[in-house]
Copies of this chain bind each other. A is one copy, B any other.
């Protein structure tokens, strides 16, 4: 899933292809079927840390927020440290009123009690059907069995990854290693999500673990900044779930000197952290419902990074661009039309558009190109759209996927 830009940055860290959320020191994980999913698949999972890990989270901006988000916020507000996160799939515990809040609190209390930890050291997350009360008996007995099955090996990480899946077709994990103060530090993550939202059975969830020593406030800043450039730059269908959440936990057991912005290795750690988030984000976009291709939209020359971000997301989210990519149609007209409606500064006379290496528009004038070469490029599994506005130095990258018959099939037939 790497690209050229990644390769340049990988001098500072090394991918660990077989790694997962249990690879960083101090973490165990697991997952099992507790009874929420009708198909018998894993539907309850947890990541547990041997010590209270520095923790941080970012949440959906949707105004309807599911009950578990409020409970997790409450936990993190205490001391910013977590022993565990407990996640169920199959039921979003959203639009469930007061009962839903009580159930989310009971999930937290159940896990805390199993670990002999205070409630506020446990976070919870849910994904699945909206508007249906949680089956708490299933969750309670699930926690009882889960607490003895948590392992620090690859099996534990894999079981957790499975337990958070809904319409996902592949598990999504990433792991990298780097050297800090002569110690090996590992950053890993697991994520789920196949559409930005399917109120009946999905959501985007991301979980990052690391054994780096870093205090909660700096971890929170890093997560927020990184999420803005990774998880917040993917779009499958422009919708935003009521349950989206990305949570990071840092055990500190790698033994590096605590990270600060002044630490000589901070940039390398931030790059490794960003790489993990970006790999997970791209994996989610590529696994978009019905998708056959990853679309990467790179905007340069915008009036600011923020402006580039809006434009990149608008292009990546355009149904017409997404349909054209599905049809392997080098339709630059749809690309500039999306640029033009993004509401950002643009000089209509100075726009370049490339599809991979194929120049289709230069200074807003069509450039004749080899249609067969374009077709071959657009039939690949990753399509890169590069836009240069020649206006300023703002840059951003967004990721999306093509719009296919299967997206319509999945979302038309979903609930019934």
Q: How far is the CB of A93 from chain B (nearest CB, A)?
A: 13
Residues of B within 8 A of A61 (CB): 341
CA distance A339 to B197 in the complex (A): 13
The reply to whether the CB of A319 lies closer than 8 angstroms to some CB of chain B is yes
Given A64-B340, A200-B331, A337-B241, A408 and B403 contact (CB-CB distance below 8 Å): yes
Question: Taking A62-B337, A340-B242, A341-B240 as contacts, is the C-beta distance between A415 and B199 under 8 angstroms?
Answer: no
Question: Is the C-beta of A407 less than 8 angstroms from some C-beta in chain B?
Answer: yes
Q: A333-B95, A334-B197, A408-B403 in contact; A415/B64 too (CB < 8 A)? A: no
Partner of A408, one of B197, B340, B341, B404: B404
Contact of A334 among B199, B341, B375, B404 (CB under 8 A): B199
Map CB proximity to B onto A234-246 as digits: 1 under 8 Å, 0 otherwise: 0001111110000
Query: What string of 1s and 0s marks CB contacts (under 8 Å) between A322-333 and chain B?
Result: 011011111111
Known: A64-B337, A412-B326. A239 touches B405 (CB 8 A): no
What's the minimum C-beta distance from A36 to chain B, rounded to whole angstroms?
A: 17
Contact with B along A93-118 (1 / 0, CB 8 A): 01101000000000000000000000
Chain B contacts for A404, CB-based, 8 A:
408
Q: Does A41 contact B (CB under 8 A)?
A: no
A302 at the interface (CB under 8 A from B): no
Q: Which of A298-319 contact B (CB under 8 A)?
A: 317-319
Q: A341 → chain B, closest Cβ, in Å?
A: 4
From residue 396 to 416 of chain A, which have CB atoms closer than 8 A to chain B?
403-405, 407-409, 411-416
The answer to whether A412 and B337 touch (CB under 8 A), given A323-B407, A407-B323, is no
In the complex, the answer to whether B97 meets A365 with C-beta atoms within 8 Å is yes
Nearest Cβ in chain B — how far from A71, in angstroms? 16
* Distance in Å: Cβ of A415 to nearest Cβ of chain B: 5
Q: How many angstroms between the C-alpha atoms of A413 and B195 in the bound complex? A: 24
What's the Cα separation between A361 and B94 when bound, in Å?
13
A238–B319 Cα distance when bound, in Å, is 8
A412 to B329, alpha carbons, bound, how many Å?
A: 7
Asked if A232 is at the interface of the complex by the 8 Å CB criterion, the answer is: no
As for how many copies of this chain the complex holds, the number is 2
Contact among B94, B318, B414 for A327, CB-based, below 8 A: B414
> Across the interface, do A64 and B365 meet the contact criterion of CB distance under 8 Å?
no
Q: Which residues of the partner chain B approach A405 to less than 8 Å between Cβ atoms?
A: 405, 408-409
In the complex, the answer to whether A329 meets B414 with C-beta atoms within 8 Å is: yes
Report A322 CB to chain B, min CB distance, Å: 9
Whether A324 lies near B408 (C-beta < 8 A) is no
**CB-CB under 8 A for A197 and B329, given A239-B338, A337-B241, A366-B95:** no
Question: Residue on B with the closest CB to A198?
Answer: B320
Is there a chain B Cβ closer than 8 Å to A167's Cβ?
A: no
Chain A 40-64 interface mask (CB, 8 Å, partner B; 1/0): 0000000000000000000001111
Within the assembled complex, what's the spacing in Å between the Cα atoms of A348 and B347?
41
* A199 to chain B: closest residue by CB: B333
**B411 contacts A408, C-beta separation under 8 Å:** no
With a cutoff of 8 Å between Cβ atoms, the chain B residues found around residue A200 in the complex are 331, 333-334
Q: Are B412 and A239 in contact (CB under 8 A)?
A: no
Identify the 7 closest CB pairs spanning chains A and B, nearest first. Answer: A327-B412, A199-B333, A323-B411, A64-B340, A130-B333, A131-B366, A62-B340
Beyond A239-B338, A319-B407, A403-B408, 13 additional contacts (C-beta under 8 Å) are A61-B341, A64-B364, A94-B333, A95-B365, A95-B366, A199-B320, A199-B334, A199-B337, A237-B319, A239-B320, A240-B340, A327-B411, A329-B414
Name 28 A/B residue pairs within 8 A (Cβ), A-sorted.
A62-B340, A62-B341, A63-B341, A64-B337, A64-B348, A95-B366, A131-B333, A197-B334, A198-B320, A198-B334, A199-B334, A199-B336, A200-B331, A237-B318, A238-B238, A238-B318, A240-B340, A319-B319, A319-B407, A320-B411, A323-B407, A324-B414, A324-B415, A326-B408, A328-B416, A329-B415, A405-B408, A407-B408
